[in-house]
Structure 1
Amino acid sequence: MSTHDLPELDLAASCDCGAVTLAIKGRPVSMFQCACQNCQKASGSGHSSIVLFPVAATKVTGATKSFVRPADSGANFTRHFCPECGTTIFAESSRAPAFRIVPVGLFAGQNDWYVPNQLIFARSQAGWDLIDDHIPHHSAYRPETHR
């Protein structure tokens, strides 16, 4: 799926308590699933469903709190969340500072456009977490050619 095949979006979503809103206007860069252990902890499931947007396509309204941790790549991974209810709004990696990593579940009820094209960190995938076998599974980060 090329970037031009991805949907043009104009959406807004908020955290559980409504204190923080994320507006999206434009095309995603990529849509994928991640089974790294950090995504499992953050999602409370076997993987996270992710959509990647250019920073310029996103607008956050309201104050967020952040948590920075080292990623397997050696980059810093920063998760931004509502300080009141704890909902993750977006994340970012020092490895790819031009992009925001957005949990597609933030757009619950208005995310039928989401079609993941790959699974990253399949090496951590739990056997009970059933992910479509028809999408490529990468043991760690996806190759740059599979954005």
Structure 2
Amino acid sequence: MRIAIDAEPLAARMCWCRLCQYLGGGSGTVNVCFPSDKLTVTGEVRWHHSIADSGTAMRRGFCPECGTPLFSLAESRPHLSFIRAGALDDPDLLAPQAVIWTDAAPDWAHLDPDLPHYPAQIPPIA
């Protein structure tokens, strides 16, 4: 399975919502946003539908062969695709610019003091 992206990232966030903690095996996740129309996916992606902690209807994409979480897509914002930073060939493409859902983070979580922290969801990217 391959993801080709013909755009620069729009934003990157570290998320500590409970669902991201499940997806990250206990840690938060780092998610990089791209315009959906600039992505080309080769190979199969399986989708799981859920409601995020924010109340937003989501589709979460994962690799059906290895189970790796790949995508988060808000059904209300189909023009944006969030890709897990670890699924990118270059995970250093864009470092997180904010930490969100800090109120859900466990007490032991390391929250980068150099980044802005938000207790829950922040306004979506335009």
Same-fold call, TM cutoff 0.5: yes
- Aligned with 1:79 (options 60, 80, 100): 60
Q: Quote the Cα distance in structure 1 between the aligned partners of 2:9 and 2:104.
A: 25
Match of 2:98 in 1: 118
Partner of 1:92: 73
Distance 1:106 1:122 in 2: 23
Measured in 1, the distance between the counterparts of 2:33 and 2:53 equals: 19
Deviations 1:77-127 (A, max 9, x none): 11111112111221201132111110001125x222322110111111122
Query: Sequence identity, in percent?
Result: 30
Aligned residue pairs, count: 126
Normalising to structure 1: TM-score of the pair?
0.78
Pick the aligned partner of 2:43 from 52, 62, 77: 62
Higher alpha-carbon Rg: 1
Q: CA RMSD in A?
A: 1.7
Secondary structure of the residue that 2:86 maps to in structure 1? helix
Matched residue, 1:37: 18
Asked whether the equivalents of residues 22 and 89 of structure 1 are also in contact (C-alpha less than 8 Å), the reply is no
Structure 2 alignment gaps of length 5 or more: none
TM-score by length of 2: 0.90
4+ aligned runs moved over 4 Å, structure 1: none
- How far did 1:42 drift? 0.3
CA distance in 1 between counterparts of 2:99 and 2:9 reads 17
